[in-house]
Structure 1
Amino acid sequence: MSNVNSFGAKQQLTVGESDYEIFRIDSVAGYEKLPFSLKVLLENLLRTEDGKNVTRSQIEAISQWNPTSEPDTEIQFSPARVVMQDFTGVPCIVDLATMREAVSALGGDPTKINPLAPAELVIDHSVIADLFGQPNAFERNVEIEYERNGERYQFLRWGQTAFDDFKVVPPGTGIVHQVNIEYLARVTMTREVGGVLQAYPDTCVGTDSHTTMVNGLGVLGWGVGGIEAEAAMLGQPVSMLIPKVVGFKLSGTIPTGVTATDVVLTITEMLRKHGVVGKFVEFYGSGVGAVPLANRATIGNMSPEFGSTAAMFPIDDVTLDYLRLTGRSDEQVALVEAYAKEQTLWHDPSVEPVFSEYLELDLATVVPSIAGPKRPQDRIELSEAKSQFAVDLNNYATVEHDIVDLTVAQSFPASDPGELQPEDGESHHHHEHQSTAPQTVTKPTEITLASGDDVTIDHGAVAIAAITSCTNTSNPSVMLAAGLLARNASKKGLKAKPWVKTTLAPGSKVVTDYYDKAGLTGYLEDLGFYLVGYGCTTCIGNSGPLPEEVSEAVQKNDLAVTAVLSGNRNFEGRINPDVKMNYLASPPLVIAYALAGTMNFDFETDALGLDADGNDVFLKDIWPDAAEVQSTIDSSIDTEMFTHEYAGVFEGDERWRSLPTPTGATFEWDEKSTYVRKPPYFDGMTLETTPVTDITGARVLAKLGDSVTTDHISPAGQIKADSPAGHYLAANGVDRKDFNSYGSRRGNHEVMIRGTFANIRLRNQLLDGVEGGYTRDFTQEGAPQSFIYDASENYQAAGTPLVIFAGKEYGSGSSRDWAAKGTSLLGVRAVIAESFERIHRSNLIGMGVVPLQFPAGETAESLGLDGTEVVSITGIEELNEGRTPKTVHVVATPSNESVASRTPIEFDAVVRIDTPGEADYYRNGGILQYVLRSLVA
């Protein structure tokens, strides 16, 4: 790949019997003081230096890195491999299949389109916890998963055979990030280049924001949109700025009764407050060596929750021990050790790198915590959870009919999340102590369960208790703590409350192996925690329906019920449509809340139930001893479990192997498929680029506030019958019961466009007091309320371009390709926001949408924009001359329905096309068109 080698970095390293070509980091002056993560980037540039995309000056910019200056140097990073999950991976493979056809149409060879970097996809996002709390739940859920997703799975099976260097881990195996750390990650990669074996650091990008879990292994990687992942698979480097690196010193040891989850929630709150968006975080100091690998991975996993690009740990003996435990070969472990030591990537606590900013946490100060009710960074000390719940409930419970202490009531309607979200970095309400305990809003509701039991539920009832998600289910310390707590509770005769939906969805089969070996499975099942699947389930909204009688009572009485999950995401409307308040907690606390049955519970003073002798049982009576958790880890987990479970990991079970699969270099699209359809990105594409144009006569499709996440924009969750996507499926003969989720239909752009901006919690300020995917349609008389999709169709038919106005941090949340693809397919040409989240901004460019920022200090409100204006944007055409303009001129003319005296509003918007590479993508109409043209050329 490299053909320049300006620094004479190319040398040889011999390990055992093998010789490897390496690019020495120490060949560049100034390397000694660099943080670990920047050394990895330095090696990447040395190895890929070609004098054009990767230049000598970029390499020097890293070696002379100024930790405190604002990042302004663009580099081209070439990740070693790509990992995907099936929701975001299916569109990648759909696009590759479509590119094969486009290449044929342009007279090229379709088999030229292959991943150029190893790509691995783990099917982990499709299992839904339909059945729970019974022995056959896992079997049945997998069966239903295959029934729902057969078309997609056939397509992925085709991809596995049609493309080189693309592997698929079949359903029912595990969660992508856990499979990544336990099996896929190499830590040191090798490959043959020009007949020579090269060794280099394992780096990866993934189509899931929690790819950062692999940072715990010393592997630099992060989540990107499916759009960049496709580009990386096709050999395009990921364009990035050399980041600031925040040094995070860990000292002290975790106290008894505190879990890795509590540590992570504390770090999340600290880093959110500090502000690390767009930065790397790197853990250092003597305390790091004492952090077990599982805890490192748990911390790395939460990087998107604190907002950093990556959250790195160094390579040391803990890393090697984990590689041995998980069954990596002796040769691989020897290579990792030799390479890391040779390349100064081995952790040396005596050398303190220079960082941009410094933070420190004494682990001894961490206390048991949960986070919620809607953001991962809103940490609540467990001892204050009950009183804080009473305060937060006022944002979710209707006030008119309920008994409420008016001193704390706020006049939000029931479904209103409270628009004014505190900015990250400011203190938020969770630390305002009430001087008097608020009186809790209450609405006792009697229901008869399917079992025949009559029970009373109220606001705060725990409707879902889920041990789920990659963050914690890969960590034996919290998983075995949960198993031991279940054993202790079961022996005292405690049971989960009958209205709680209890689910267990581990991240790999190794977890159930060690539960079995430790003799804990039966106790978990005794409390209702039966295996429901190996996959993400609850954390991504695949919690499955609540029992009908519970769902009915919640809807009829507008109850604010809660979910407690061991996940990393608790945004509104995400976990389950019936559940308003969601809390993140460690696996043992998930079980504790299932026993309590309500959020309105103080574990210090409220008893969980009675034992056989009629004595009160408190949480402290069943909390497992830390020493017993450790001894259980030592006695119940062994290498053989990993080698056994991963031996045939790509082969799959009988169901997978017997799927009928098409063959051939190009895919045979099924015209009747409502899951996998050929997208229109390359329709009418020519080899020459079309000049970019200014935007005239545009309308505002949506005017949005602050903190609009990709969860608000991107289609997710269940498809409602009375929605544009529901209408489309019904018109195509799909029964309501077979609608499935948006995630499962990501391979069908028709469904996805209709679900973009359709989140039930979206608040479009063009309408008053309306939530959901609605706007005003100015193509119609009187501009009536309409579905965003229907309005977009009318605008596109009229040839009217569209823009979006938004507030701060537009597009934060998971890195979702469809947030950008859907925006583009709706006909949106520009998004004007106060600020953007990094990935979503670059994804918009990758789909041909220009991201613009209001002038510093200005907002839509301060400029007087209300969204009814006709918008024109000039200055974009400068891009055709090979320059990227710093600003463009925006004129917003009031439309006839606005106050007649209003004059046009004019301002210069900042163009957020930040790198030459992004400018190339935008000129080509998007990243895929750019790649396709360069491959055919």
Structure 2
Amino acid sequence: MSKDPYNVKKSLEIQDKDFDYFSLTALKNQGHPIEKLPYSIRILLENVLRNFDDFAVTKAHIETLLHWKPDTTGEDIPFKPARVLMQDFTGVPAVVDIAALRAEVDRKGGDAQKINPMIPVDLIVDHSVQVDYFGTNYAYERNMEEEYKRNVERYTFLKWAKKAFKNFSVVPPGMGICHQVNLEYLAQGVTTRDGQIFPDTLVGTDSHTPMVNGIGVVGWGVGGIEAEAALLGQPIYFIMPQVVGLKLTGKLPLGSTATDLVLQIAHALRKHGVVGKFVEVFGPGLDHLSVPDRATIGNMSPEFGCTVTYFPIDDKTLDYMRKTNRAEDHVKLVETYCKTNMLWRENSEAITYSSVVELDVSKIEPTVAGPKRPQDKILLKDFKPKFIDLLQESFGRSYITMDDREEKESLARWKAEGGNQPVQPSKDDDKANNDREEVTIEKDDKNLRTVWINHGHDKFELSDGSVVIAAITSCTNTSNPFVMIGAGLVARKARERGIDVKPWVKTSFAPGSKVVTDYMKKADLMTDLEALDFHLVGYGCTSCIGNSGPLPPKIREAIDDYDLVVASVLSGNRNFEARVHPKVKMNFLMSPMLVVAYALAGRVDVDLINDPISYDRNREPVYLKDIWPSNDEINEIMAKVLTPGDYDKNYGEIFEGNEIWRNLEVPDDKLYQWDAKSSYIKEIPFFKDISEQPKNFQNIEAAKALLVLGDSITTDHISPAGAFSQDSAAGKYLVQQGVDANDFNSYGSRRGNDEVMVRGTFANVRIKNQLVDKEGGFTQHIPSGEEMTVYDAAQKYRENNTPLIVLAGKEYGSGSSRDWAAKGTFLLGIKSVLAESYERIHRSNLVGLGVLPLQYKEGDSAKSLGLTGKENFSITGIAEGLTPQKELHVVAENDKGDKTEFKVMARLDSEIEIDYYQNDGILQYVLRQFLDEEKH
């Protein structure tokens, strides 16, 4: 059969070069209304036309996309991305899997060297740097040294992989954040390969991959398992998406930023409901948004719940490509191809969307989000009263106002205690004060916890609402020069007014690319940020991924001893419970400019619109409006300091790394030599001695619930990324292996070791399992009634071959595209998860690991059905065979013999997912296919 069933393969000459391409215009000329299709659907259509083989990609798939309808539901389509993006937390376990596949192929007598990525893979090491040092000019170098000390084994492994695999590159540590590097350098808009020209597309092993949507590239986050399948040549199958049109009108007003806009969009789209859908932006307001503004919005697609937030290519895209040093020949190629093939933004009003959300950008106000979900928008003007309400609602705390405090106490403290000013000791006391820290407690009758801390020469007050972390972090905002220069100007104006960051605030500046520090230095704004202790701490995700590092000891002690509800402020995209720091219970997302402002205030219970942010040395009030820059000031500096040369310089050396990286010695072996003593890298057990044929389908009989969970359980709850204690199951394991607690590193860095990660599954210190009364990774072993860690309970159940399930509520698995959240689930012996609804990536990851995701019928839940989680569960209808979204029967029997029976939907959404489930996972499916081909 022809590889071009619609006869639309054409030739296009661009700058004296001929390329083959699959013409959407030719389809239109055949009578298909392509002009009514959203641009993102057009790109998927081009993808199936070009990859048609009548096996994995069929004519039926083309017809499905060609006849896309706004209310489309249920149809299955394939996607073969042009490339794959990885970061190190998800990349290391993915490379472990590929190395393990090679090992099993070799054991089976096959040619292991044939196991290679079939499309380009770029892995960027950005998730491992931790803020151990801050507020000093040596912080960056010291943090890099610590990063290599902790992770040299992982980095040696990655450098081996770069050498051993084809189509695999590694950007070493300290060079940038994967999404910002992707936006500024890797993304091409349009790509050419083997004489063909087609749209640049990708999947990434990080949920914020849609940041690249801002430059007109269709790409989204997937689990590491799906990404591995894609790089091994498998299509990614998913349900045909509905496309929600986001119509923007107006222009951002003075005082509002792209960060404020994206937090409003997150709130609006969550309310509208876009989970599993595409969002496509159109309208006249788009003309006023730069690519960095668009990328800020695209970045937070997973916070909206959608798969992509797509911005079609237009003149703004080309302008950004030129500014970021893309070759002019390539810019012309992008323009010519897109205009030729109906992928250039024009006449968007003719497109039919599934639904439309309209937003007047001119009405955007300064905004923050929190304290534990990105979509929980709070207008800046309402932040103080909202904080007071949250303190009461979430923590049962009464609140004494700052006004009351100041009236009763501030003058006395100013004179007698020194307030926040340095207390000048005598020379004889100087050494003693530096060596001694004291913590005292004052409790008022309204139960506000107030801790006074003597720290060297400083004496300061810590209480509910104090800001202990202020982080300019994350690719979400550090890729946007407008808000970064704005933050520098806030710092400059604060210095000019004589106010400083409060001494209890841990500050950090962690941009996503070295280009940022270059232009900030050119503008002399780094000097101003550093004067407020916002020194460079690293080029990586830092606080946004949970690598905030330790709090100063006495601050940590005060929080622990007096149960303080302190806060972090960060310019990131994630603020889930215990993610930023396990000691910090309230976390608020905001622009870099507001991060600086709240570091100056030192508290979140301040009305920055009307009240002073601080006082100068003369006790004159300084307001936010006094230090807020105008748009003209920011734009004037941007025009002077942003040049293509900065991008050329930094990206010209991006693969080199520092001296430590260059000196890492790696073997030439094509098979990785697993070290039994390693606590970082182990061969994962999934593939060892794999059978030639998959298992038969089996019902799940007499299962026990390992956990009963509520709504909005994130992948951070399921598989935390941050630090862990020696009292945890993972910590005890490492201690038994001879690892000192100081060398534990983080869960994220240990993802190459399944023994650590399975013990860390459901081990988040804030997870709330309804089978026990306390927070953390604990459960009840139902037969004995004994409370223990989730891991220990799973082992006891394994001794009796008891299958396990998890009961959950809505939005199960939201958050990061964390494959270990599914891998750990599988390795604990969990056969099925039963939830009210799933976030897209985690449901797919569960299938990719052979765990059956079940969904209650509309209106049903554990609560409505009266389930406690202590029943015996039997799930039938599996053994007879499965079809996409088949209805199954569940019987829950309690200890009295009473039965509750109900129907559920098997969330295996396509035929290929059924095959993945039967094979115990997608990689086992690929491996069996490869071994079968080798045999024949």
- Tell me the TM-score normalised to structure 2 length: 0.93
Q: Deviations over 1:398-418 (max 9, x none)?
A: 549x8799xxxxxxxxxxxxx
**Equivalent residues in 2 for 1:192-211 (5 A)?**
192=194, 197-211=195-209
User: C-alpha separation between the residues in 1 aligned to 2:457 and 2:828?
Assistant: 49
- Please say if residues 464 and 565 of structure 2, whose CA atoms lie closer than 8 Å, have aligned partners that are also in contact: yes
Partner residue, 2:644: 639
1:271-286 correspondence runs (5 A)? 271-286=269-284
For the pair 1:337 / 2:339, whether they are aligned, the reply is no
Q: Which residue of 1 aligns with 2:453?
A: 447
CA distance in 1, matches of 2:707, 2:619: 59
Residues 85-105 of structure 1 deviation map (CA, whole Å, 9 limit, x = unaligned)? 000010100000000011112
2:930 pairs, out of 927, 931, 935, with: 935
Distance 2:658 2:578 in 1: 34
Q: In the alignment, is residue 36 of structure 1 matched against residue 29 of structure 2?
A: no
Any conservation in 1 of the 2:282–2:348 contact (CA below 8 Å)?
no
SS at match of 1:539: helix
Distance 1:808 1:292, change over 3 A: same
Q: How far apart are residue 160 of structure 1 and its match?
A: 0.5
Matched residue, 1:249: 247
Give the conservation status (yes or no) of the 8 Å contact 1:403–1:442.
Answer: yes
The answer for the alignment partner of 1:786 in structure 2 is 788
| Structure 1 residue 52: Cα displacement | 2.1
Matched, 1:722 2:720: no
Letter of the aligned partner of 1:129 in structure 2? V
Indicate the residue corresponding to 1:469 in structure 2: 474
Q: What's the RMSD between the two structures over aligned residues?
A: 1.6
Per-residue CA distance 1:205-258 (angstroms, 9 max, x = gap) = 001000000000010011011111111111111101111111111111111111
For residue 751 of structure 1, what is the aligned residue in structure 2?
A: 756
Equivalent pair of 2:305/2:839 in contact (CA under 8 Å)? no
- Using the TM superposition, give the Cα deviation of residue 858 of structure 1 relative to its aligned residue in structure 2, in angstroms: 1.5
In structure 2, the residue matched to 1:432 is none
Superposed counterparts of 1:77-226, under 5 Å: 77-192=79-194, 197-226=195-224
Do the aligned partners of 2:72 and 2:240 also contact (CA within 8 Å) in 1? no
- Is the partner of 1:222 in helix, strand or coil? strand
Distance in 2 of aligned mates of 1:76 and 1:671:
40
Distance (whole Å) between structure 2 residues aligned to residue 20 and residue 333 of structure 1: 16
CA–CA separation in structure 2 for the residues paired with 1:382 and 1:703: 36
Q: Which residue does the alignment assign to 1:771?
A: 775
Question: Hey, what does 2:50 align to over in structure 1?
Answer: 47
SS of the aligned residue for 1:863 comes to coil
Contact 2:765 2:777 in 1 (8 A): yes
Counterpart CA distance in 2 for 1:523 and 1:834 is 50
Tell me, what secondary structure is at the counterpart of 2:448?
coil
User: Hey, what does 2:353 align to over in structure 1?
Assistant: 355
> Whole-Å Cα distance in 1 between the matches of residues 479 and 2 of structure 2?
41
The DSSP-based 3-state class of the residue aligned with 1:711 is helix
In the other structure, the counterpart of 2:21 is: 22
The AA in structure 1 aligned to 2:325 is G
* 2:380 is the counterpart of 1:378: no
Q: How far apart are the structure 2 equivalents of 1:468 and 1:653?
A: 22
The 10-residue stretch of structure 1 (644-653 or 390-399) with the greater mean CA deviation from structure 2: 390-399
Shift of 1:606: 2.2
Moved more, 707-716 or 380-389: 707-716
Deviations 1:338-386 (A, max 9, x none): 1111111011146531111011111110011111111111111111111
Contact map agreement 1:560 1:581 (CA 8 A) in 2: yes
Alpha-carbon distance, 1:612 to partner:
5.7
- What one-letter code is carried by the residue in structure 2 that aligns with 1:443? R
2:571 counterpart of 1:566: yes
**CA distance in structure 2 between the partners assigned to 1:553 and 1:883 by the alignment:** 56
State how far apart, in whole Å, the 2-side matches of 1:505 and 1:671 are: 36
User: Among residues 315, 318, 327, which one is paired with 2:316 in the alignment?
Assistant: 318
SS at match of 1:878: coil
Work out the CA distance in 2 between the residues paired with 1:720 and 1:568: 26
Deviations 1:689-724 (A, max 9, x none): 221221122111111112211111113211111110
- Structure 1 residue 683: deviation in Å? 2.2
Following TM superposition, by how much is the alpha carbon of 1:501 offset from its aligned partner in structure 2, in angstroms?
0.3
Q: What is the aligned counterpart of 1:587 among 592, 614, 619? A: 592
Q: Which residue of 2 aligns with 1:868?
A: 870
Distance 1:3 1:332, change over 3 A: farther
Cα separation, partners in 2 of 1:731 and 1:268, compared to 1, 3 Å? same
For residue 435 of structure 2, what is the aligned residue in structure 1? none
Give 1:100's aligned amino acid.
Answer: R
Q: Check conservation: 1:3, 1:49, Cα contact below 8 A.
A: no
Q: Which runs of 5+ in 2 are unaligned?
A: 403-444
Aligned residue-pair number: 886
Using the alignment, how far apart are the partners of 1:574 and 1:445 within structure 2?
Answer: 25
2:908 equivalent to 1:913: yes
- Whether the 8 Å CA contact 1:225–1:839 is kept in 2: the answer is yes
Q: Could you tell me how far apart the structure 2 residues matched to 1:891 and 1:36 are?
A: 46
- 8 Å CA contact 1:444–1:457 kept in 2: the answer is yes
- Offset, 1:809: 1.6
Larger displacement relative to structure 2 (602-611 or 831-840):
602-611
* Residue deviations 1:480-531 (CA, integer Å, cap 9, x gap): 0001111111122111000000100001000000011001111100001000
Give the drift of 1:397. 4.0
* Contact 2:274/2:305, CA 8 A, preserved across alignment: yes
Deviations 1:58-108 (A, max 9, x none): 2122222111x2422101111111101000010100000000011112221
Moved more, 197-206 or 329-338: 329-338
Q: Does 1:890 align with 2:895?
A: no
Q: Alignment partner of 1:455: what SS?
A: strand
Letter matched to residue 50 of structure 1:
D
Q: What corresponds to 1:365 in structure 2?
A: 363
Question: Of 807, 811, 827, which residue of structure 2 is paired with 1:825?
Answer: 827
Q: 1:440 and 1:814, CA in 2 relative to 1: closer, same or farther beyond 3 A?
A: farther
Q: In the TM superposition, what is the alpha-carbon distance from 1:853 to its structure 2 partner?
A: 1.6
Match of 2:406 in 1: none
SS of 2:122 mapped into structure 1: strand
Q: How does 1:792-803 map onto structure 2 within 5 Å?
A: 792-803=794-805
Q: What is the aligned partner in structure 2 of residue 72 from structure 1?
A: 74
Does structure 2 conserve the Cα–Cα contact (< 8 Å) formed by 1:404 and 1:441?
no
Tell me the TM-score normalized by structure 1. 0.93
Q: Residue 5 of structure 1 corresponds to which residue in structure 2?
A: 4
Pair 1:517 & 2:522 matched: yes
* 8 A contact 2:696–2:918 mirrored in 1: yes
Counterpart residue number, 1:435: none
Superimposed CA distance per residue, residues 764-788 of structure 1 (whole angstroms, 9 cap, x where no aligned partner): 1112x21111111135xx3200111
Q: CA shift at 1:856, angstroms?
A: 2.6
Matched, 1:850 2:852: yes
Aligned residues of 1:699 and 1:801 also touching (Cα < 8 A): yes
Query: Partners in 1 of 2:591 and 2:178 — Cα distance?
Result: 20
- Call closer, same or farther: CA 1:746–1:286 in 2, change over 3 Å: same
C-alpha contact (below 8 Å) 1:792/1:826 kept by paired residues:
yes
- Structure 1 unaligned residues grouped into runs of 5+: 406-438
Alpha-carbon contact 1:215-1:311 (below 8 Å) kept: yes
Specify which of 653, 672, 685 is matched with residue 680 of structure 1.
685
The whole-number CA distance in structure 1 between the counterparts of 2:40 and 2:396 is 49
Aligned CA distance change for structure 1 residues 885 and 312 (closer, same or farther; 3 Å) = closer
Q: Judge conservation of contact 2:64–2:77 (CA < 8 Å) in 1.
A: no
Look up the SS of the partner of 1:249 in the other structure. Answer: strand
* Shift in CA distance, 147/754, structure 1 to aligned 2, threshold 3 Å: same
- Contact 2:380 2:609 (8 Å CA) reproduced: no
Identity of aligned residues (%): 53
Between the aligned partners of 1:917 and 1:38, the Cα distance in structure 2 is 22
Q: Distance in 2 between matches of 1:388 and 1:883?
A: 48
